[in-house]
Structure 1
Amino acid sequence: MSQYNPDALCSACTRVHAHDRNTLTVPARVWRDPAVRQALAAWDFGRASQLIRQRGSLRQEDLSQLTGLSQAFLSMLESGSRRLTNIDKIVEFLAGLGVPAELVPLPLPRPVTNPSLPSDLAAEDLDPVLPWTAARMVTALGAAVGGSAMDRRRFLGVSGVALTAFVHQWGTAEVEPLVRAADGSQLTNDLLDSLQQTTDSLRVMDASTGSGTLAELGDAHLAFLKRLVQHASYGEAAGRRLASIIADTATQTGWFTFDSGNHDGTQAYLLAALRAAKASGDIRLGAGALSYMAIHGYSTGSPRSAVIAASAAREKIRNLDAPALEAMLLTRQARGHAKLGEQDEAVAALDRAAELCARGRSEKDPAWLYWINTGEIHGQSGSCYLDLGEPDKAVVSFTQARKALNPADQRTRGLFLTRAASAHLREGDVDAGCATAHEALDLAEQLQSARLNDHIQSMLAELQPVNHTAYARDLQERAAAVMGTRSRT
């Protein structure tokens, strides 16, 4: 029996009108209706649209709001005079309605020969609906680490229904044990300890100095781990542990890649991490990979994907009693809701995250999540309020975050400072905004993070209405000097 929860995904795909905040959603009961399921399975989207409206007591205007398709088009779709054939529009239609992934058979490619991958992997494909074998995990790693730009482009735009396919398979697919009895050297516990320590060291370096110099190191470490999977000898217990180190490293390298500005290359690492997490048997690692998919989503214009990824991860760990892990996922989900203008959902997620964080860590919380604390919760709350157009609340949250953040987490402090400066400026407090912006520049001089650079540019854009003031001119001049120096290093 599948553990996938269509009610949870449907709830995650709730929409809120930007103006009146009236919530629109397709009721969960609709997805259990046999006629609706049959229409979706047959890709009869006109019939599906009509049935979803009728079973959910919705109007065509409501479906238009949810999907982004015009009411006129939906009317023609339901009458049969128009068809929905463009894959991008199909994804928008299904993701906007919150259709559970397992109800729609995706037209994903079948296994094909891929000459850019090693010959022993060429027959394996990256399709999530195929069995999640150890060989396909290695293929996914190859596409991330050693594959061509074309391999990585296969992961671009993995959102909406395509993302839910990966998430669903992670939660339900069977996986074969990672075992290799061969002439290669036997994996020892000491070696595995050392490999995990390398990943842990990269994580700590990232928090203190930024990811600008770490993406290549992560790639090299991941390439070595991939060679061990292919050539070393190990039993099932060692294989699971090796898979867990791969999942952790691939997630971190995906994050390094994203933070260094290469947004297009990020998803290949994270989807490979999801496969490795499955092989490891540790659902917490899969949840970690999904949390970074959520960041990628709300940072690159796909906030609905952030909600889908974070809420699916929460559903999978809901019986684990890992309050810190769930709190972190809730902040990711809240950011997606806030980007969508879904205020009630965002605030509810933040409130629940604060409650869980206050409980403290449990023994089930992963060691790699050492950085989650009340400062992080307050900072993410401030970011949500900024997106929701409430700079006064954002200022309060960012002030609380500064008092509680881990002092060693310099990049996060820098990010929150840029957003706090924007919040002050939107409130009309130029002095406080410029003073906070200078603090952010102090940190920018020490860090290598393209993501922080982007936040600084956004912060500086807030100065446009007050560029005539001495404070603003001084800040602009200093920012130009700092950013110019960073671009030459």
Structure 2
Amino acid sequence: MSGRSVGHPLVQARLLRRLSQEKLAALIRAAGKRRGINVATTKKTVSAWESGREPDKVTRELIAEVFEVDAEACAALPWPLWLPAPDLSELHHPWTAAGTVAVLADVLRSGRMDRRRFVVLTGITLTTLLHRWLTTEPDIAHAVVGDGRRVSPGMVDRIDARIAGLQRDDDTHGGGDLIFEGEAYLSLVTRLLGHGACTDRQRARLHGQAADLSRMCGWMAYDNGHHAAAQRYFAAALRAAHASGDVLLGANVLAFAAAQTYSVGNPADADAMVRTAQSAVRGRSTPVVDAMLCARRARALAKAGDARGCYRALNRATDLLGKGRRDDDPPWAYWVEQAEIDMLTGSSLLDLGRPAEAQKWFRAADAAYGPQYVRTHTLYLSRIATAQLQQHDLDAACDSAIQALDLLGDINSARSTDQVRDLAKQLAPHRDTPPVRDFLDRARTLVSA
């Protein structure tokens, strides 16, 4: 998703009040008129603010009036952190085992219904979440005492096995349908945490499973284009990882949350997530986990236009991965391979305006993964097509785009469909060219381009 940052607090405040940019501009002009101030705010002005430009002091006062924010709140916080934000239970419950169970239950109740396409954790709300994860002591010793039947070791083992299967199924086919299974298992684990009689070791394992499952549900929600729901799942996963006492698991949650965040136009928040994770795991990590975090940070820096920082992080990721795997690598890190680093390198180069080099890295990554990873193959083909289009090779771009289009029927991934749809929009000005016309005709049916 390109354009303005969908995570900017003004976007959130506006959409929470169901205001278009044009309607907000009109309300600001009306507020100025009531004060005898002539302001020329337009839809274009609002768009500029949402892209990072700061309004002047008088206009900020008018914006505060429109959103009914009192002067004391405006004085206490810098722009735009005083704007209204979603009221999320995951920000208010205590960082205890009981609080974690309450957040998991609440997110399960509301997550599937929260289909907003903008993120809900940014600015001060995100900073608060990261700070609490980093500084609060885990509460395992004061875990909730279950009032139900004893949880059997076999049950916990079976959940572990299904989590591993879900991870690999998502790698292959996308999360459009799998999210329902992920939510069902997360609901089971949440119930066991809230009502089952467990040993301390079992409870720690269940919290870790809740973190894995909530992280997967967040990734699947993101794959479906539901950004608010995704972030709520990620926040719940971070709490569950914290309650498990596994700091590396929390870092993994933040790495996936960062990928969503930079993808929707908020690279600064994504960078903050990864740097927080790196601080937390320092001295307790493995080279593979550190490589993953460096690669995620490289993507955020590329999205922010920091080429030097990006290349430095990518080189560091490659060096760390070259140290090889260790027996104490976490199981979830199975996917951190050179092909993943190659893919992230290609994506970074594409963002930094180097499409020819990006294409080489994409092809190397795609060859390593193989066509059985259908969603990954579709995403690579879409990015290869974008790189080819940026090099003005219409025939090659159309060929790659058609291959990606043909694969959409085998997966359920809104993210993949959106990338093919974006290709159709980029190719539309060249519809007089026969290959482009053929692709657009086919795309019109499948992705409503």
Normalising by structure 1, report the TM-score: 0.72
Q: Which amino acid aligns with 2:329?
A: D
1:213 aligns with 2:177: yes
Q: What pairs with 1:186-205 in structure 2 (closer than 5 Å)? A: 186-205=150-169
The Cα offsets for residues 365-396 of structure 1, whole Å up to 9 and x where unpaired, read as 22112122111111111111211222122122
Partners of 1:334 and 1:345 within 8 A in 2 = yes
**Which residue is 2:11 aligned to?**
none
Alpha carbons of structure 1 residues 233 and 406: separation in structure 2 relative to 1, 3 Å: farther
**Which residue is 1:454 aligned to?**
418
Structure 2 Cα separation of the partners of residues 482 and 69 of structure 1: 41
Q: For 1:405, which of 351, 369, 388 is the aligned residue?
A: 369
Q: For 2:100, which of 137, 144, 163 is the aligned residue?
A: 137
> Bigger shift: 418-427 or 364-373?
364-373
Partners of 2:214 and 2:237 within 8 A in 1 = yes
Q: Which amino acid aligns with 2:391?
A: E
Q: Which amino acid aligns with 1:163?
A: L
1:374 aligns with 2:338: yes
Extract structure 1 runs of 4+ deviating beyond 4 A. 83-89, 91-94, 106-110, 148-153, 180-183
**Which residue is 1:167 aligned to?**
130
**Which residue is 1:42 aligned to?**
none
1:384 aligns with 2:318: no
Q: CA deviation at 1:85?
A: 4.9
Partners of 1:137 and 1:275 within 8 A in 2 = yes
Equivalent residue of 2:335, what SS? coil
The Cα offsets for residues 48-76 of structure 1, whole Å up to 9 and x where unpaired, read as xxxxxxxxxxxxxxxx9x97436x659x9
Equivalent residue of 1:187, what SS? coil
Q: What pairs with 1:6-405 in structure 2 (closer than 5 Å)? A: 68-69=53-54, 73=57, 85-86=73-74, 90=78, 92=80, 126-127=90-91, 131-147=94-110, 156-177=119-140, 179-405=143-369
- Measured on the aligned residues, the alpha-carbon RMSD in Å equals 3.2
Structure 1 Cα separation of the partners of residues 419 and 371 of structure 2: 20
Structure 2 Cα separation of the partners of residues 462 and 163 of structure 1: 34
Partners of 2:248 and 2:285 within 8 A in 1 = no
Alpha carbons of structure 1 residues 458 and 148: separation in structure 2 relative to 1, 3 Å: closer
Alpha carbons of structure 1 residues 164 and 473: separation in structure 2 relative to 1, 3 Å: same
Unaligned stretches of 5+ in structure 2?
1-48, 62-70
Q: Which amino acid aligns with 1:136?
A: G
Normalising by structure 2, report the TM-score: 0.78
Alpha carbons of structure 1 residues 194 and 385: separation in structure 2 relative to 1, 3 Å: same
Alpha carbons of structure 1 residues 458 and 152: separation in structure 2 relative to 1, 3 Å: closer
